[in-house]
Amino acid sequence: MNLAVASLATLLSAQTVAAVPPPPPIASATVGLTPNGCAVERSGSAAPYAPAPLRFRAPAGTTLLLVLPEANPNLTFDLKRGGQRPLITGAGFGAGDVRIVLPAADSYELAVSGYDPFRRVAVPVTFRIKLTLEVYGSPRRCSTD
């Protein structure tokens, strides 16, 4: 018995294991948002395990308004500040809007991806989203929304 275990250990230690290279970095799109300015619409797609990142800068005292013109239960997102852990994660959106108070002046990244909650797997997703930065108490500088 000990000889079989030793032979198996020798066989396994002789196997070379090639490391799987990491996926290439995902190019992010920078979204130019002006506080109390016009909404910026973005559309795109994300492959499984490859979210579509949208980056923007926000001053202190702003709220991010996300508007989804159409329902998509497979659409998920993470909102990160300065490369940290997600501030918020959302999933299973219906059409409508979500407001998120941003904690500080900083760079933010909204990573849009797809997930099928019934099959519990990442899925490809296409999306259309509108982003606006709101500053309460300040006049709105856009008349087209």
How high is the pLDDT of residue 2? 63
Q: Tally Cβ neighbours within 10 Å of residue 66.
A: 19
Domains of the chain: 37-134 (2.60.120.380)
Residue from 46, 56, 70 nearest 131 by CA: 56
How high is the pLDDT of residue 32? 84
Helix extents (H) in the chain: 2-14
Per-residue pLDDT of the chain (145 residues; tens, 9 = 90+): 565 555 555 655 555 555 666 555 566 778 888 888 888 899 999 999 899 999 999 998 899 988 888 888 888 889 999 878 888 887 766 667 888 899 999 999 999 999 998 899 999 999 988 999 988 877 777 766 4
How high is the pLDDT of residue 15? 53
Q: Which two tokens stand for residue 42?
A: 């973005």
N-to-C CA span, the chain: 77
How high is the pLDDT of residue 73? 86
Q: Which two tokens stand for residue 71?
A: 């329902």
* Phi, psi at 128, each rounded to 5°: -140, 125
Alpha-carbon gap, residue 132 to 37, rounded angstroms: 7
How high is the pLDDT of residue 88? 84
